[in-house]
């Protein structure tokens, strides 16, 4: 429930989506060791914003949805 990776600093998930990430990461006590490709070359800015809005407000994460 809730991940500090997507809730604590809103710029962290943006950087991860745009630049990608690899190697071990600890999330709520569980260690994941995989690769996430840089989606900034594939997705538009609007698509990145939509994905991150969904992630930050789903699966037990409680970030507020931005107002339009």
* Local structure of residue 45 (DSSP, 8 states): H
Residue 60: the pLDDT is 62
Residue 49: the pLDDT is 86
CA–CA gap between residue 46 and residue 8 (Å, rounded): 22
- Token reading at 4: 């500090």
* Ordered per-residue pLDDT tens for the chain, 68 residues: 566 676 777 788 888 889 999 999 888 788 989 998 999 889 998 998 888 888 777 766 666 555 55
């Amino acid at each position: 429930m809730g991940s500090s990776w997507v809730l604590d600093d809103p710029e962290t998930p943006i950087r991860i989506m745009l630049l990608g990430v690899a190697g071990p990461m600890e999330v709520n006590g569980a260690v994941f060791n995989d690769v996430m490709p840089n989606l900034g070359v594939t997705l538009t800015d609007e698509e990145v914003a939509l994905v991150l809005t969904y992630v930050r407000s789903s699966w037990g994460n409680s970030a507020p949805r931005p107002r339009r």
